[in-house]
Amino acid sequence: MKTKKIIGEWYIYILMIGIWVIAGLVVPHFRQMSTFMTIIVFSVPLAIVALGQNLVILTGRFDLSVGAILGLSSVIASVVMKNNLLLGILLPILLGTVIGFINGIGVSKFRIDSFIMTFGMMAVCQGIGLLVRDYPGGYIPPGYIKFLLKETGHVALTPLVILIVVLLVGEFILKRTNFGRGVYAVGNNDVIAYISGINVTLIRTAVFTISGLTAAIAGLFLSAVMASGDSTVGSLYPLDSITTVVMGGTLLAGGRGDYKGTIGAVLILTSLARIFNLAGINIWYTYVVKGLLLLIIVAIRMFGAKEGREVAL
Amino acid sequence: MTEIGLKRRNINKDILQAIILFSMLIVIILIAGILKPGFLTSKHLIAIAHDTSIIGIAAIGQTVVILTGGIDLSVGATMLLVDATGAMLLGGQNRITPILICLGLALLIGIINGVGIAFLRIPPFIMTLGMMIILTGAIFIFAKTSGFASPILRYLSVQKVGSIPILVIVWLFLTAIMAVIMRLTVFGRETYAIGSNPIASYHSGIRNKIVTLKVYIISSLFAGIAGLFLLGYTGVPELTYRGGGLGSNYTLSSIAAVIIGGTVFVGARGGIERTLFGVLVLKVLFSILTMMGISQSGQLIVQGAIVMLISGIYIRLERSRF
């Protein structure tokens, strides 16, 4: 019984190690340290976005606007950083938070469906992003890039640290704070949460605000990786972040899941792209594998779930 | 509250929503006519309708799915898969087999979606998201960017009867058929029943799983038909990857059209005929913005704001009647 529980909680890491071992045996280049570091660097932005997305999904909603906020943040950074580095960091963060807050108010106070609210916000942010910069470019200070992507030996130190910090912060928020418990409670049943004295509106607003904030931070990191600003860079992030959160074991209906599983799924997705790239396989096969993995994992989980849910489709 | 009272209340609300939607469409068109005198010519309005019909056909299937409380994110990918496969197999010839293969493909996608959602109990969002990701990969692995539509398909998509394009007639015809099916047949009632309360519908003897399966098959088939007409309309396959998943622009506008039309995710209110207006509002708005020389970025901002505003108004309407 206990092993079953452990597997249920850590299956995504078992899968990840399995993929890494197979890839290490089949693809010689995969065994290099630099490959591992590339995976880490590309995992960071997705992991940061997925933290906010994870909180939103745990309350039973989702956020489609993360990609557009990410792109907007990167173009604003690319414009402002030329004159003032600090302002170039603070302004995107502030903007992302405000956009997330508007999403949250729309969903919690005005009860607009989160799909519609964040879909509309996605279009608005894409539009503003294109207004600011309609083709990739701009200036990102080399010192800023060097700081974020710093390498000592072959180890990309800062990205690794960021990834670990993000993981710890996410797990801490969810498992050790009142806010985290509130998120689970709202996701499980918002009526009961309301009756037991939890401020549902506040929690819903807060998770969307955090999601906007994390998306903006991911945009800042990504603009360092690209050394430029691009308003369309985030187009894959909404669906990728939802995919990783669900693959990592969080219920789309909310209330159950955690963040460490999401990080595992992020590592798997970025590893797959890298492995296929190194093995010289057509990159589009990663999409097929990604989709199949998502469906198989969810199908197995639903198969294991209690039969009581059978009636409600 | 008695059942009759409940019904009357819903009807009032429905009529109010329809009036809002219709007057909005008229106001938008009138404003455009004042701003740009060329807008109100019948020729231009018909051109807009022609442009709308492909997404309109896809939105019919999406409406049926959303009525059950589900969502189909694979609509756009199915459209483009059929689009590319059709072009590849047809190669500019008039042949029936490739058309059947395309529709078979759409049918297969619908069956897989339906089985996953109804029998494996995968949430619709996840199932169709996974399907979209897989189709995105598959299409770029197997499809070539070559091929042409067959002359007949092209004729049907481009030519006009009198001054009205055949495609618009097909769209209106399909909308009418599905509206009748949804309102008057057992299947339609069952779909509404599942959408308003799946547990209640299960206990009243409706086979939820079979109905759900059918719903997703219908959605995919309409996406397939839309894909064929898309091929006919453009003549060559559209294989541009815009990011965010294959055909996500089609998927998202189909969902936006359904929502603007007033069909809601929860509670099974709305209908096929509403989506007709929803898709028109969306497209008229876009064509006005294009005509006024507003850039793509401005169009995106306005579209997003309109979608949020309209659903906000609907929610207000809903709550004021409680």
Residue A239 C-alpha, separation from nearest chain B C-alpha, in angstroms? 7
Rounded distance between C-alpha atoms, residue A243 and residue A46, angstroms: 11
Closest CA to B124 of B179, B198, B56: B198
Are the beta carbons of B121 and A294 separated by less than 8 Å? no
- In angstroms, the separation between the Cα of residue B38 and the nearest Cα of chain A is 27
Question: Are A81 and A140 in contact, with CB atoms under 8 Å apart?
Answer: yes
C-beta atoms surrounding B315 within 10 Å: 17
Smallest Cα distance from B216 to chain A, Å:
13
Contact B278, B257 (CB under 8 A): yes
What pLDDT, on the 0 to 100 scale, is given for residue B315? 76
Residue A293 CA from chain centroid, whole number = 18
Residue of A112, A242, A243 with shortest CB distance to B312:
A112
Which residues, including other chains, have CB under 8 Å from residue B135's CB and lie 6 or more apart? A291, B74, B77, B78, B81, B109, B246
Q: Which residues of B touch A135 (CB under 8 A)?
A: none
**Is B129 at the interface with chain A, CB within 8 A?**
yes
Interface probe, candidates A116, A222, A276, chain B, greatest B C-beta count within 10 A: A116
Shortest alpha-carbon distance between residue A151 and chain B (Å): 31
Among B123, B296, B311, beta carbon nearest to A113: B311
Given A130, A242, A313, which is nearest B297 (Cβ)? A130
pLDDT of residue B243: 55
Higher pLDDT, A134 or B100: B100
Nearest by CB to A120, from B121, B248, B304: name it. Answer: B304
Would you say residue B64 has pLDDT above 80? yes
pLDDT value, residue B267 = 66
Residue B48's pLDDT band (cuts 50, 70, 90): confident
Which residues of chain A neighbour B129 with C-beta distances below 8 Å?
A: 239, 242-243, 294
Quote the pLDDT of residue B147: 76
The one-letter amino acid code at B306 reads: I
Q: How far apart are CA B210 and CA B87, in angstroms?
A: 33
Share of chain B above pLDDT 70, in %: 91
CB contact under 8 A, B295 and A287: no
φ and ψ of B214, to 5 deg: -60, -40
For residue B4, the model assigns a pLDDT of 45
Tens digit of each residue's pLDDT (9 = 90 or more) over A137-188: 888 888 888 888 877 766 778 899 999 999 999 999 999 999 999 999 999 9
CB B224 within 8 A of CB B78: yes
Total Cβ atoms within 10 A of residue B94: 12
Please give, rounded to a whole number of angstroms, the shortest distance from the CA of B156 to a CA of chain A. Answer: 33
Phi, psi (rounded to 5 degrees) for B160: -125, 150
> Where is average pLDDT lowest: A22-36, A215-229, B68-82, B277-291?
B277-291
Would you say A294 and A247 are in contact if contact means Cβ atoms under 8 Å apart? yes
Of A131, A284, A311, the CB nearest to B141: A284
Mean local confidence (pLDDT), A228-234: 86
∠A184-A190-A194 over CA atoms, to 5°?
105
Is residue B282 within 8 angstroms of chain A, CB to CB? no
User: Mean pLDDT across chain A, nearest whole number?
Assistant: 89
Q: Label residue A59 by pLDDT band (50, 70, 90).
A: very high
CB contact under 8 Å between B126 and A298, yes or no, is: yes
Strand residue runs (E) in A79-226: 151-152, 155-156
Specify the residue for token string 């906007």.
A212
CB pairs under 8 A between A and B: 176
Name residue, tokens 């008039």.
Answer: B94
Tens digit of each residue's pLDDT (9 = 90 or more) over A78-127: 999 988 899 999 999 999 999 999 999 999 998 888 888 998 899 899 88
Chain-chain contact of A288 with B256 (C-beta, under 8 angstroms)? no
Rounded to two decimals, the pTM is 0.89
Distances (CA, A) of B74 to A246, A251, A279, B205, B252: 18, 21, 29, 30, 10
Nearest CA in chain A to B212: A313
Least confident of A22-26, B11-15, B37-41: B11-15
State which residue of chain A sits closest to B256, comparing Cα positions. A116
B108 interfaces chain A, CB cutoff of 8 Å: no
Write the pLDDT tens digit of every residue in A274-286: 999 898 888 889 9
Question: B141 CB near a chain A CB, below 8 Å?
Answer: yes
The verdict on B257 touching A (C-beta cutoff 8 Å) is no
Distance CA A121, CA A116 (A): 8
Q: Are B221 and B228 in contact (CB under 8 A)?
A: no
Distance CA B55, CA A224 (A): 39
Q: Which residues of B touch A309 (CB under 8 A)?
A: 121
Per residue in B167-219, pLDDT tens? Answer: 999 999 999 999 999 989 999 999 999 988 888 898 999 999 999 999 999 99
Q: In angstroms, rounded to a whole number, what is the distance separating the alpha carbons of residues B285 and B282?
A: 5
Select the residue of A123, A284, A285 nearest B303 (Cβ to Cβ): A123
Which of A91-95, A244-248, A253-257 is least confident?
A253-257
**Would the pLDDT of A313 be above 60?**
no
Each residue of B227-257: pLDDT tens digit?
999 999 988 887 666 555 677 778 888 988 8
Q: Does residue B177 belong to the interface with chain A, where contact is any CB pair within 8 Å?
A: no
Contact B304 A242 (CB under 8 A): no
In chain A, the percentage of residues whose pLDDT exceeds 70 is 96
Asked whether the beta carbons of A67 and A238 are under 8 A apart, the reply is: yes
Contacts B118 to A, Cβ<8 Å: 313
Q: What is the ipTM of this complex?
A: 0.88
Read off φ and ψ for residue A152, nearest 5 degrees: -120, 115
Q: Is B34 on the interface with A (CB under 8 A)?
A: no
pLDDT band of residue B151 (cuts 50, 70, 90) is: confident
* pLDDT above 70 (res A308): no
As a whole number, mean pLDDT of residues B87-94 equals 84
Structure confidence at residue A305 as a pLDDT band (50, 70, 90): low
Distance CA A279, CA A264 (A): 22
Of A49-53, A75-79, B294-298, give the lowest mean pLDDT range.
B294-298
Angle at B158 between CA B157 and CA B159, to 5 degrees: 110
Q: How far is CA B125 from CA A152, A185, A286, B159, in A?
A: 43, 22, 20, 37
Residue spans of alpha helices (H) in chain B:
3-35, 42-67, 75-90, 97-118, 124-142, 151-158, 166-184, 186-196, 198-203, 208-234, 248-260, 272-291, 296-320
Q: Cβ contact (<8 Å) for B134 and A282? A: no
